[in-house]
Amino acid sequence: MPCGAPLLDVAAGTGRLARYLQQHHYRVVAVDYSWPMLACARAAQSAPLVQADAFALPFASGVFAGVAALRFAFHWRDLAPLLTELRRVAAPGAPLVLDTYVWTPRARIALGARRWGGKIFTHHPMAVRAQAARLGLAVEAAVPCFLCSPYVYRRLPLRATQLLERLETAVPPTWLARVFWRFRRCEG
């Protein structure tokens, strides 16, 4: 892994993850396709901001010490093009982090489409594992979480959220809606 190489925050949006990483003394480059999102991010941080397509990143291969694409992958039916590009810019051995949905009503009906965009796609964990293996990515962690969309958690009173969090630990993992993945780019 390159010495002192930065981390890449793909689909950075308003820059929340990039800010968090900077606060923990990481060098970060934030990328988003949307100029308005980058303008929001620019107002709140000092990370380099790049307007770019996540499927054709304007960086050399193998230059990032880690790559994250949170709240993004589930907008695409086929994860292969995204995973391929994220793997390309990651240094050998670098972690890649993203999240997918296993189930959500938004996979059938575009709830809140004006605010959040159209339908989203679900990805069965076994299919994600198989796709990752084909692309030279080792699965280091797959953490299921949330009984429903995190947006619902944010809208509920604290006691209701705490109840949902307790229930998450009591139900089978297959009942949970989302999976956070950490892949490792295999050497080479």
For the cut 70, the answer to whether the pLDDT of residue 114 exceeds it is: no
pLDDT single digits (tens) 8-24: 999 998 889 998 999 89
Torsion-angle region of 51 (φ positive above 0: left; ψ -120 to 50: alpha; else: beta): beta
**Angle value at C-alpha 35, between 31 and 40, nearest 5 degrees:** 85
Tell me what the mean pLDDT of segment 79-92 comes to: 96
Q: Place 115 in a pLDDT band, splitting at 50, 70 and 90.
A: low
Tell me what the mean pLDDT of segment 77-90 comes to: 96
Return the pLDDT at 54. 96
Q: Is the dihedral of CA 89, 80, 16, 179 positive or negative?
A: negative
Return the pLDDT at 85. 98
Q: Report CA-CA distances (Å) from 88 to 66, 82, 137.
A: 11, 10, 11
Total-model pTM: 0.88
Tell me what the mean pLDDT of segment 157-168 comes to: 93
pLDDT single digits (tens) 44-61: 777 788 999 999 999 999
Tell me what the mean pLDDT of segment 83-96 comes to: 96
CA dist 37 and 39 (Å) reads 5
**Angle value at C-alpha 71, between 66 and 76, nearest 5 degrees:** 100
Return the pLDDT at 112. 60
Identify the helix (H) or strand (E) that includes residue 96.
strand 95-101
CA dist 121 and 79 (Å) reads 10
- Tell me the fold of 7-146+178-185: Rossmann fold (3.40.50)
Return the pLDDT at 46. 72
Q: Place 109 in a pLDDT band, splitting at 50, 70 and 90.
A: low
List the single range of 58-67, 106-115, 174-183 with lowest mean pLDDT: 106-115
What tokens appear for 64 in the block? Answer: 């990032």
Return the pLDDT at 43. 72
Instruction: Work out the number of other CB atoms within 10 angstroms of the CB of residue 9.
Output: 31
**Residues, the chain:** 188
Q: What's CA 178's distance to the chain center, in Å?
A: 11
